[in-house]
């Protein structure tokens, strides 16, 4: 597991302050983003089995968390664009070389993964832009995982990785 | 019923019909062109194979053989149909190969490849020498339509315990554990995956081909997340060698298919068929302990047939010149039938004695005669020669041999095999037995830096590089299967009398006297 720090982050922070919409001023732009290699599990994030997961998708609290996560990811997008995707990639490495994320994240498809009954935390996932692959049947996307605490309204454990599937 | 009949349109997926209408007629343009089958058409084909070739083809279902449930689809009860092709009169303890089609219900071109491969083998028996050898020497199992429910509905998935599932993530190797956003958690919850498992655990498949559609590629393990950092398996050399042969013999139709590991070319998935077929009987720590089996050490491939899951009928090809890459009616079906034949051919070395009928039954002491032979079912010939001795098993116990020959370049064992020839002269009188002998494919032991760091584990490689290997699978007591390893391969020995007198051929003619032929 890698953590994204350093001068690039500082630069991104400055850029972010310039471009972040006023409505997102409350977004913790210096929030720590954990980077996880492609298809590895994000630490501290869990997912319910598929059937149980389906029942969570319409939960109002969870949807609020997803909306907030979308806002944060949009606000943090300049930083996210700085991430070295080649370093994150475990497959299609050559195809990823030279690829740049779009200037805006575009549609961020959200999914509720789990609710920790003990802590009350919601475990959330956003799927961002598609990443390159040698073959069309390989689907790779930038993914953001996080937890949402409905009591405090805060997003935590922000994790960026690459996930996807193959329709071989 | 060879081609799609109008009465069976009702079961063809609607999307398939639409595509067929867009890109070409479902009726063949040529009398010999291939076309798509529906479920009933496939069953009729398999039944016809068994009825027409009773000693060569056996048809059964996983439901009847293994007590699995049917797959309900409205008023229909769908089954996983299995076809076995072999010359039963020669026994059922032969090297085995498995072909699977349509794990993904919308990749229906794979069904056609399986059916046409079966048809070619059966119809050619007794007329094509090579294909006859394959039917005599191999046991070929096919599950042409593993996912009949998905097939009938034109969708990738199959009903399973956890709802709609991807059958090719439902096998027992490298199951998804922990965070599992895209994969189901239980092994073998689809009936099709279970059928494949039940078949496999009763056999010792040396090669497994899992036919798909949607891309054109030949991939082999590793292909799961366990092996992301290092994609080289202990059997990389063998898997790559056969992959390249299948690529070459499949031929150039729409371009040669790229060959490589799944992880390198596509990406990793949990529970795929090919990694399961390769590793789940030896890398047991990473296989689902609920479904143990000794049957899975196959060199295994996912064969992606065509860039479209249901390519237009006009691209399927026809059965003229089927064995020729780039032949007269080439298309996706002939190309991948040849891929299958290459796999069937390689599963065990064998020697054909090309001039056995003209070998003398009696020769004088030191009198020379010529032996010619081919070595088949291999990639390279490391050492081949003729052995003789007074023991009836001269492959094991011999007192003389000819000079060793080898050929490790080109394709000495395939398509047009190298004709080896040696002059034999036995100096001392007596009754002798002789056979050509061959050692093959030692290069399959070559390794770089495999994970795990083990010698090759597949039956394909071990059976030709490991003297004394004996693995028995008797899960089905009515058909006990064995893998025997040996370094040298021979043929049934020929008895020769060496002594005074003229060279006498087995047919009674003296050397040089050919008048009887005139």
Predicted confidence pLDDT, tens digits, chain B (518 residues): 334 333 333 334 444 434 443 443 333 333 468 999 999 999 999 999 999 999 999 999 999 999 999 999 999 999 999 999 999 999 999 999 999 999 999 999 999 999 999 999 999 999 999 999 999 999 999 999 999 999 999 999 999 887 889 999 999 999 987 666 445 668 999 999 999 999 999 999 999 999 999 999 999 999 999 999 899 999 999 999 999 999 999 999 999 999 999 999 999 999 999 999 999 999 999 999 999 999 899 999 999 999 999 999 999 999 999 999 999 999 999 999 999 999 999 999 999 999 998 999 999 999 999 999 999 999 999 999 999 999 999 999 999 999 999 999 999 999 999 999 999 999 999 999 999 999 999 999 999 999 999 999 999 999 999 999 999 999 999 999 999 999 999 999 999 999 966 666 554 444 433 333 32
Per-residue pLDDT averaged across A83-91, rounded? 96
Q: Å from A20 to nearest chain B CA?
A: 31
For B434, the token pair is 């002789």
Per-residue pLDDT averaged across A82-109, rounded? 96
Residue of B nearest to A113 (CA): B181
pLDDT at A24: 33
Task: Please tell me which of the candidates B184, B185, B267 has its beta carbon nearest to residue A166.
Answer: B267
pLDDT at A31: 77
Q: Å from A23 to nearest chain B CA?
A: 32
3-state secondary structure of A10: helix
Q: Å from B154 to nearest chain A CA?
A: 15
pLDDT at B33: 82
Fold exhibited by the domain B351-517: Immunoglobulin-like (2.60.40)
pLDDT exceeds cutoff 60 at A67: yes
Classify residue B202 by burial, with Cβ atoms within 10 Å: 0-12, 13-18, 19+. buried
Task: Please tell me which of the candidates B163, B212, B302 has its beta carbon nearest to residue A51.
Answer: B163
Q: Is residue A23 part of a domain?
A: no
Confidence of residue A51 (pLDDT cuts 50, 70, 90): confident
pLDDT at A28: 62
Are β-strands B205-212 and B296-304 bridged in parallel, bridged antiparallel, or unpaired? Answer: parallel
Q: Å from A163 to nearest chain B CA?
A: 9
Per-residue pLDDT averaged across A116-130, rounded? 96
The mean pLDDT value of chain A amounts to 84
Q: Å from B213 to nearest chain A CA?
A: 7
User: What DSSP line would sit under B243-312, residue for residue?
Assistant: HHHHHHHH-STTSPPPEEEHHHHT---SS-HHHHHHHTTT-GGGB-TTS--S-EEEEEEEEE--SSSS--
Choosing among B106, B157, B164, B181, which should be mutated to test the A contact, i.e. which has the most A CBs within 10 A? B181
pLDDT exceeds cutoff 90 at A27: no
Choosing among B105, B159, B267, B275, which should be mutated to test the A contact, i.e. which has the most A CBs within 10 A? B267
- Strands (E) in chain A, as ranges, are 2-3, 34-35, 109-115, 122-131, 138-149, 154-166
pLDDT at B206: 98
Chain B hits for A164, Cβ within 8 Å: 182, 267
Chain A hits for B223, Cβ within 8 Å: none
pLDDT at A40: 87
User: What is the enclosing helix (H) or strand (E) of B241?
Assistant: helix B236-250
Task: Please tell me which of the candidates A47, A135, A167 has its beta carbon nearest to residue B181.
Answer: A47
Q: Is residue A21 part of a domain?
A: no
Q: Is residue A79 part of a domain?
A: yes
Domain count, chain A: 1
* Percent of chain B that is helix, strand, coil (3-state, to 5): 30, 25, 45
Task: Please tell me which of the candidates B179, B180, B268 has its beta carbon nearest to residue A91.
Answer: B268
- Torsion-angle region of residue B508: left (phi > 0), alpha (psi -120 to 50) or beta? left
Q: For chain A, which residues lie within 8 Å of any Cβ of chain B, measuring from their own Cβ?
A: 39-42, 45-47, 49-51, 90-92, 111, 113, 125, 133-138, 140, 163-168
Contact flag A137-B214 (C-beta cutoff 8 Å): yes
Determine if the peptide bond prior to B452 is cis (ω within 30°): yes
Q: Is residue A7 part of a domain?
A: yes
pLDDT at B185: 67
Contact flag B214-A166 (C-beta cutoff 8 Å): no
A164 CB-near residues (< 8 Å, 6+ apart): A39, A131, A138, A139, A140, A141, B182, B267
Confidence of residue A29 (pLDDT cuts 50, 70, 90): low
- Which residue intervals of chain B bear CATH 3.40.630.10? 6-346
Q: Å from B472 to nearest chain A CA?
A: 34
pLDDT at B504: 61
Q: Is residue A25 part of a domain?
A: no
Residue of A nearest to B161 (CA): A51
Determine if the peptide bond prior to B222 is cis (ω within 30°): yes
For B269, the token pair is 């998935």
ipTM: 0.80
Fold exhibited by the domain B6-346: Aminopeptidase (3.40.630)
3-state secondary structure of B120: helix
pLDDT exceeds cutoff 50 at A82: yes
Task: Please tell me which of the candidates A136, A163, A166 has its beta carbon nearest to residue B181.
Answer: A163
- Which residue intervals of chain B bear CATH 2.60.40.10? 351-517
How far apart CA B132 and CA A114 sit, in angstroms, is 58
Choosing among B179, B180, B261, B262, which should be mutated to test the A contact, i.e. which has the most A CBs within 10 A? B179
- B447 in Cβ contact with B237 (< 8 Å): yes
- B158 in Cβ contact with B150 (< 8 Å): yes
Confidence of residue A6 (pLDDT cuts 50, 70, 90): very low
User: Chain A to chain B, count of Cβ pairs less than 8 Å apart?
Assistant: 69
Q: Is residue A22 part of a domain?
A: no
B393 CB-near residues (< 8 Å, 6+ apart): B433, B493
- Phi, then psi, of A9 in degrees rounded to 5: -65, -40
Confidence of residue A25 (pLDDT cuts 50, 70, 90): very low
Per-residue pLDDT averaged across A110-120, rounded? 95
Q: Is residue A24 part of a domain?
A: no
- A136 in Cβ contact with B215 (< 8 Å): yes
Residue of A nearest to B267 (CA): A91
Per the structure, the complete domain to which residue A137 belongs is given by 2-15+31-166
Cα distance between the two ends of chain B: 48
């Amino acid at each position: 597991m890698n953590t994204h720090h350093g001068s690039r982050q500082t630069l991104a922070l400055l850029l972010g302050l310039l471009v972040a919409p006023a409505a997102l001023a409350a977004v913790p732009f210096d929030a720590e983003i954990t980077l996880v290699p492609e298809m590895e599990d994000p630490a501290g994030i869990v997912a319910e089995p598929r059937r149980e997961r389906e029942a969570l998708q319409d939960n109002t609290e969870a949807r609020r968390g997803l909306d907030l996560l979308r806002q944060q990811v949009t606000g943090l997008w300049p930083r996210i664009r700085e991430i070295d995707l080649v370093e994150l990639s475990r497959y299609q490495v050559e195809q990823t070389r030279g690829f740049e994320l779009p200037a805006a994240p575009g549609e961020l498809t959200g999914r509720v993964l789990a609710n920790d009954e003990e802590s009350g935390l919601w475990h959330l996932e956003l799927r961002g832009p598609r990443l390159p692959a040698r073959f069309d049947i390989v689907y790779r996307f930038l993914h953001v995982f996080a937890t949402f605490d409905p009591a405090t309204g805060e997003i935590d454990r922000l994790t960026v990785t690459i996930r996807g599937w193959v329709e071989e | 019923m060879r081609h799609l009949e109008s009465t069976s349109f009702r079961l063809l997926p609607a999307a398939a019909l639409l595509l067929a209408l867009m890109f070409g007629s479902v009726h063949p343009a040529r009398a010999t062109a291939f076309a798509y089958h529906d479920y009933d058409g496939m069953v009729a084909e398999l039944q016809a194979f068994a009825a027409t070739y009773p000693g060569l083809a056996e048809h059964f279902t996983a439901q009847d053989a293994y007590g699995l449930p049917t797959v309900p689809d409205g008023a229909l009860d769908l089954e996983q149909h299995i076809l076995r092709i072999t010359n039963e009169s020669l026994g059922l303890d032969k090297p085995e190969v498995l072909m699977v089609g349509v794990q993904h219900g919308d990749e229906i071109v794979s069904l056609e490849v399986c059916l046409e491969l079966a048809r070619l083998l059966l119809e050619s028996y007794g007329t094509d020498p090579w294909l006859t050898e394959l039917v005599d020497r191999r046991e070929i199992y096919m599950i042409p339509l593993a996912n009949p429910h998905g097939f009938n509905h034109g969708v990738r998935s199959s009903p399973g315990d956890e709802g709609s599932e991807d059958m090719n993530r439902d096998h027992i190797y490298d199951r998804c554990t922990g965070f599992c956003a895209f994969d189901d958690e239980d092994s073998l919850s689809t009936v099709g995956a279970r059928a494949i498992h039940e078949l496999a655990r009763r056999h010792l498949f040396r090669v497994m081909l899992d036919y798909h559609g949607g891309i054109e590629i030949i991939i082999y393990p590793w292909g799961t997340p366990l092996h992301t950092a290092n994609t080289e398996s202990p059997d990389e050399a063998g898997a790559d060698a056969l992959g390249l042969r299948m690529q070459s013999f499949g031929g150039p139709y729409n371009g040669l298919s790229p060959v490589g590991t799944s992880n390198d070319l596509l990406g990793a998935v949990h529970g795929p068929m090919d990694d399961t077929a390769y590793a789940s009987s030896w890398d047991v720590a990473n296989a689902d302990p609920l479904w143990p089996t000794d049957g899975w050490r196959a060199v295994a491939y996912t064969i992606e047939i065509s860039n479209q899951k249901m390519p237009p009928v006009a691209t399927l090809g026809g059965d003229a010149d089927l064995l020729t890459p780039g032949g007269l009616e080439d298309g996706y079906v002939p190309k991948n039938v040849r891929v299958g034949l290459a796999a069937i051919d390689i599963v065990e070395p064998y020697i054909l004695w090309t001039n056995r009928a003209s070998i003398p039954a009696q020769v004088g002491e030191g009198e020379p005669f010529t032996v010619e032979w081919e070595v088949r079912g291999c990639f390279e010939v490391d050492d081949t020669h003729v052995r003789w001795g007074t023991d009836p098993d001269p492959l094991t116990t011999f007192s003389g041999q000819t000079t060793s020959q080898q050929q490790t370049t080109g394709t000495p064992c395939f398509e047009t095999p190298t004709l080896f020839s040696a002059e034999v002269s036995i100096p001392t009188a007596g009754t002798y037995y002789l056979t050509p002998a061959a050692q093959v494919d030692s290069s399959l032991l070559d390794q770089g830096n495999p994970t795990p760091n083990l010698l090759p584990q597949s039956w394909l490689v071990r059976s030709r590089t490991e003297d004394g290997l004996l693995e028995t699978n008797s899960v089905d007591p009515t058909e006990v299967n064995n893998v025997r390893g040996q370094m040298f391969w021979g043929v049934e020995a020929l008895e020769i009398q060496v002594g005074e007198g003229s060279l006498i051929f087995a047919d009674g003619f003296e050397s040089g006297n050919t008048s009887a032929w005139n």
